[in-house]
Amino acid sequence: MIRVLVVDDSLFMRTMIRDLLEKDPDIEVVATAIDGIDALRKIDEYSPDAMTLDIEMPRMNGLEVLKKRMQATRFPKVLVLSSLTSEGAEMTRTAMALGADDFMLKPRDTSALRGIGRELTDKIHNLVRIAYVRRVERPPEALADRLVVIGASAGGPPMLDLLLSSIESPLPAAMVITQHMPEGGFTASLATRLNRISPMPVKETESGDALLRGNVYISKGGYHTVIASHVGEKGERGGRIIHSQSPPLHSVRPAVDRTFSSAATTFGNRVVSVILSGMGSDGGEGMAAVKQQGGSTIVCSEEDCLVYGMARSALSRNCVDKVLPLQQIGKEIARTVAGMVN
């Protein structure tokens, strides 16, 4: 059973959230709390696995609760339930920066609230599953002999949330994600957020990083991510990250084509390449290079993408093995990587 604490200052909301959660036979709401002070006391008393957290509450609000987590010896996974207002959205961003694990919108309309039950229970299951996987199944820090590369631009970040959270256990491969973002800490923030919802540790790339099995790397904004050959301490062959400030390609840096093409050169047929949503043509040439080396190529289906320019660029080169809905891509990556010869 997953033990959950529901925190909200509204009796109506506490009741509704509790009812929605307890429709899932694997979830038990062990307690509810009316504000942050009450929540901290009940965390100590009940030791819940997860907590739904309102932000705007009297006495102690949700942000103040999150500030206390660093002082706690044990703290539940936190799902922030945020209102649809612009003020609520800003506070949600602050909550994520303070360490909340995930968030979802809390409709004000009663009928709409009843419709979020499945999303709510899925998110609770996902947060607790990831905590368990990281605790029990953390892969050894071995040099990866297989590589997954993912490219995205406009519309990419929310797709990355869903893709990474759909992977059920750490991959026997490294993963490099090149998401078009400018300099200024944006890719570092993306890595921090994805690290909370991924079964694998996620970090922003640093030049010289060895590509380790079961780890995810987010291409640093302002630099091309180039995959170079690397020999480990035991003579094993793999790859490492090299940052390049060569001119932008397709008017962007990092460019997906640079990551994909260099991955194909270094890892040959042990590459799985994926293109998600994005405008422009970046990624098509790199995916063709992966295909030429015998690697696997996947693009997301158009109905799941905000913009289909990057995927269409790959499709126009006849180098795509599979076009899949977003919800199937994570499992296909895992299946393909597992099938590669050691």
| Residues β-bridged to residue 143 | 212
Distance CA(208)–CA(239), nearest Å, equals: 10
Average pLDDT of span 277-299: 97
pLDDT at 107: 77
Concatenated DSSP letters of 239-301: EEEEEE-PPPBTTBSS-HHHHHHHHHHHHTTSEEEEE-S-SSSTTHHHHHHHHHTT-EEEEE-
Cβ atoms of 244 and 227 within 8 Å: the answer is no
Active site residue 19: no
Average pLDDT of span 228-246: 91
pLDDT at 87: 53
Residue 136 clears pLDDT 80, i.e. is over it: no
Highest mean predicted confidence (pLDDT) among 41-45, 92-96, 269-273 = 269-273
**194-198, 240-244, 291-295 — which is least confidently predicted?**
194-198
pLDDT at 321: 97
Length of the chain: 342
Q: Of 102, 282, 296, 313, which one is the catalytic site residue? A: 282
Distance CA(50)–CA(21), nearest Å, equals: 12
Active site residue 209: no
Sheet holding 102-105, edge to edge: 27-33, 2-7, 50-53, 77-82, 102-105
pLDDT at 97: 77
pLDDT at 106: 80
What are the residues whose beta carbons fall under 8 Å from the beta carbon of 183, sequence distance 6 or more?
221, 222
How confident is the prediction for the chain on average, in pLDDT?
A: 90
Distance CA(219)–CA(215), nearest Å, equals: 13
Q: For strands 271-275 and 224-231, give the pairing.
A: unpaired
Determine what percent of the chain is predicted with pLDDT higher than 70.
94
Cβ atoms of 285 and 316 within 8 Å: the answer is no
Residue 154 clears pLDDT 80, i.e. is over it: yes
Residue 265 clears pLDDT 80, i.e. is over it: yes
Task: Label each residue of 75-137 as H, E or C.
Answer: CCEEEEEECCCHHHHHHHHHHHHCCCCEEEECCCCHHHHHCCHHHHHHHHHHHHHHHHHHHHC
Q: What is the CATH number assigned to the segment(s) 2-136?
A: 3.40.50.2300
**119-123, 279-283, 307-311 — which is least confidently predicted?**
119-123
**Exposed e or buried b for every residue in 257-272, given b needs 16+ CB within 10 A?**
bbbbbbbbbbbeebbb
For residue range 189-226, list pLDDT tens digits in order. 889 888 878 889 999 999 999 999 999 999 999 999 99
**14-18, 47-51, 176-180, 188-192 — which is least confidently predicted?**
188-192
**22-36, 68-82, 104-118 — which is least confidently predicted?**
104-118
Average pLDDT of span 42-60: 92
Q: In which band, very low, low, confident or very high, does the pLDDT at 138 lie, cut at 50, 70 and 90?
A: low
Amino acid (1-letter code) at residue 213: R
How many CA atoms, within 13 angstroms, populate the side-chain half-sphere of residue 288? 13
Average pLDDT of span 285-305: 97
Q: In which band, very low, low, confident or very high, does the pLDDT at 5 lie, cut at 50, 70 and 90?
A: very high
CATH assignment of 147-339, given 2.60.40.1250, 3.40.640.10, 3.30.70.260, 3.40.50.180?
A: 3.40.50.180
**Exposed e or buried b for every residue in 296-332, given b needs 16+ CB within 10 A?**
bbbbbbeebbebbbbbbbbbebebbbeebebeebbeb
Q: In which band, very low, low, confident or very high, does the pLDDT at 296 lie, cut at 50, 70 and 90?
A: very high
Q: In which band, very low, low, confident or very high, does the pLDDT at 298 lie, cut at 50, 70 and 90?
A: very high
Q: In which band, very low, low, confident or very high, does the pLDDT at 74 lie, cut at 50, 70 and 90?
A: confident
Distance CA(29)–CA(23), nearest Å, equals: 11
Active site residue 169: no
Instruction: Give the closest residue to 212 by CA, choosing from 196, 201, 223.
Output: 201
pTM of the model: 0.70
Q: Of 82, 153, 262, 296, which one is the catalytic site residue? A: 153
Residue 30 clears pLDDT 70, i.e. is over it: yes
Task: Give the sign of the dihedral formed by CA 170, CA 174, CA 178, CA 182.
Answer: positive
Residue 284 clears pLDDT 90, i.e. is over it: yes
Residue-range domain boundaries for the chain = 2-136, 147-339
Cβ atoms of 150 and 276 within 8 Å: the answer is yes
Would 2-136 and 147-339 be classified into the same CATH topology? yes
Q: Of 180, 224, 230, 250, which one is the catalytic site residue? A: 180
